[in-house]
Chain A
Amino acid sequence: QQQVKQSPQSLIVQKGGISIINCAYENTAFDYFPWYQQFPGKGPALLIAIRPDVSEKKEGRFTISFNKSAKQFSLHIMDSQPGDSATYFCAAPLITGGGNKLTFGTGTQLKVEL
């Protein structure tokens, strides 16, 4: 079964540092790659997404970098803040036997320390 491979599983970053989370995918139905952010006790919420006619998208401190040939994309959080501590999920619209489905990565628990 196709997967979206996400790493690392957990990450501890100092306040002000850069957090980097990586994802790799197999065959997608088309190009749409979102990142979701989930705080404890809440549902995931869309953080940023890219439709890669571009290789990079930036929104504030959050940047998606996309490498289509390598089938990899990553989330960079610049100037990480304690309020960024959450679980982050990448996702990709994979081609599966049951149709095209948005498949989530396994999640990365980010902790930003003071």
Chain B
Amino acid sequence: DTAVSQTPKYLVTQMGNDKSIKCEQNLGHDTMYWYKQDSKKFLKIMFSYNNKELIINETVPNRFSPKSPDKAHLNLHINSLELGDSAVYFCASSQVWEAAGELFFGEGSRLTVL
């Protein structure tokens, strides 16, 4: 039974389109995150939610909008996709604040913008 699951695993789309990635965790954690991993494998936090409230919002274009319908789900919607958005997006969750304890990552959603 997957702890952090995200869908879809692969997304291929055209520039200008809108797409969403969904994430669910069954670990009972209060905090969830979105990370972006670029082609050089650099991992950077985008958003952090604690119990459905936005805690961290890095300098991410406002075309990216996270939504947390409940504390087990954190979705990412991206408007007007650009070539530079191509990356692997990871959802993660943690029992405590991410800088203090273990992060549990999903398997990633590879987004390719053509």
Residues on A lying within 8 angstroms of B by beta carbon are 29-30, 32, 34, 36, 38, 41-46, 49, 87, 89, 93, 98-102, 104, 106-107, 109
Contact = CB atoms under 8 A, between A and B. Distances in A.
The 7 closest A-B pairs by CB, nearest first: A43-B105, A93-B99, A102-B99, A104-B43, A107-B41, A46-B102, A102-B98
B56 A101 contact: yes
Contacts of A42: 107-108
A89 B37 CA distance: 12
B99 A100 contact: yes
11 contacts: A32-B100, A36-B103, A38-B41, A43-B106, A44-B105, A93-B100, A100-B99, A101-B99, A102-B45, A104-B42, A109-B41
Given A98-B56, A99-B56, A102-B98, A46 B103 contact: yes
A41 B41 CA distance: 12
Q: How large is the interface on B (under 10, 10 to 19, 20 to 34, 35 or more residues)?
A: 20 to 34
A99 B59 CA distance: 13
Contacts of A100: 99
B58 A45 contact: no
B92 A43 contact: yes
Contacts of A109: 41
A75 B100 CA distance: 19
